[in-house]
Amino acid sequence: MSNYYLKYLKYKKKYMDLKGGSEKEKSDPQIGKNDFSLLQEKIIEKIKDYQLIINNTSKREIEVINKSIRELRKEKNTLTDTLKLPKDKENLNNKLKELEAENKKKMLSKKKIKF
Answer whether residue 31 shows pLDDT above 70: no
Q: How confident is the model at residue 114 (pLDDT cuts 50, 70, 90)?
A: low
What string of DSSP letters covers 24-59?
HHHHSTTTT--HHHHHHHHHHHHHHHHHHHHHHHHH
Q: Does residue 54 lie within any of the structural domains? A: yes
The total of structural domains in the chain comes to 1
Q: Does residue 3 lie within any of the structural domains? A: no
Q: Does residue 90 lie within any of the structural domains? A: yes
Q: Does residue 91 lie within any of the structural domains? A: yes
Return the percentage of the chain with pLDDT > 90, whole number.
0
Q: How confident is the model at residue 17 (pLDDT cuts 50, 70, 90)?
A: low
Indicate the average pLDDT of the chain: 72
Q: Does residue 12 lie within any of the structural domains? A: no
As a whole number of angstroms, the distance between CA 21 and CA 33 comes to 7
Furthest CA-CA distance within the chain:
147
Q: Does residue 21 lie within any of the structural domains? A: no
Q: Does residue 20 lie within any of the structural domains? A: no
Range of the domain at 66: 34-114
Q: Does residue 2 lie within any of the structural domains? A: no
Can you give the pTM of this predicted structure? 0.30
Instruction: Please give the pLDDT value at position 59.
Output: 76
Question: pLDDT per residue over 47-88, tens digit each?
Answer: 888 777 777 767 777 788 788 888 888 887 777 776 666 666
Return the percentage of the chain with pLDDT > 70, whole number.
66
